[in-house]
Amino acid sequence: MPALNYVSHDSQNVSVTYSDMPAGADVVWVNQVSGAKTPSQSGALRNGGSGSAQIPISGVSSGQYYLQAQNSGQSIAQTVMFYIS
């Protein structure tokens, strides 16, 4: 089963680990309050498999978010909620 785990973040990136990702997976920012989804500028999960990645924060306003991994538009995994300031 695919997994996407939040590790930490700084002012520029969110660090994640992932496992069992299918090839072609994408990362989407989900605003916890509004539910608005913003595609990530990272293609880190597209090769699939397992590993770690830095997901750029650029283009995301402050707020409560989680990262969602999607395959063909369907949610397959997500991180815990975290706050971007």
- List per-residue pLDDT tens for the chain, 85 residues long: 999 999 999 999 999 999 999 999 999 999 999 999 999 989 999 999 999 999 999 889 999 999 999 999 999 999 999 999 9
Range of the domain at 80: 3-84
58: CATH:
2.60.40
Strands (E), the chain: 3-9, 13-21, 26-31, 37-39, 49-56, 63-71, 74-78, 82-84
Number of domains in the chain: 1
CA angle 30, 85, 24 (to 5 degrees): 30
Asked if 28 contacts 37 with a C-beta cutoff of 8 angstroms, the reply is yes
